[in-house]
Amino acid sequence: MRENYPAQSTNVLRHIPNAITSVRIIVAAIFPFCPEQMHIGLIALGLATEFFDGFTARLFNWSSYLGQILDPVADKLFVLSVSLTWVWLGKLTVLEWLLIGLRDFGILFIFIALIALGSIRSVRSVKARMTSKITTAFQYLAFLLVLTQATQYLTPLALITALIGLVATIHYVYLLRHSLKVSSGLRN
């Protein structure tokens, strides 16, 4: 299928997954300023970009280093934008926000610590793990509960999301520690 494209077109097309991811970043930036009637459409768009960026990257072998960085950043910005907006509007409690975002806060803390320690250059790209993907799915499910006003299920779902997110964070810490040990062993 790709063989029919000229070489130059294929190079341009390789950027499609990153362009799709960029749409999620734009949606995250405008979400707090949009009327509530638009929230369902914006979340649907965010969810679609969450699926299609990775799908097209894998299907056409268009994965890139930029995409490996951009996708999780877009995820965190999107979740943060939606959830903080809803805390502001009174649709989420601060506790629910903290529980839903636990994994994202954990990963952000680890990333900042690695930068502060000067170790970020030695960390190899860590692919998304199933626990992290499940956490993201539960975050979107929490958004659906808010949109459908089924908030009686929100706190239990936020707790489950936090537990899965904690497992994902611990798993990433383990992988990063191993990666740092391997890379420091290579320097010696």
Residues 121-158, buried b or exposed e (16+ Cβ, 10 A)?
Answer: ebeeeeeeeebbebbbebbbebbebbeeeeeeebeebb
- Tokens 């290579």 correspond to what residue? 186
Read off the pLDDT of residues 85-103 as tens digits, 9 standing for 90 and up.
Answer: 999 999 999 999 999 988 8
The model carries a pTM of 0.80
pLDDT tens, residue by residue, 34-91: 999 999 999 999 999 999 999 999 999 998 888 888 888 898 899 999 999 999 999 9
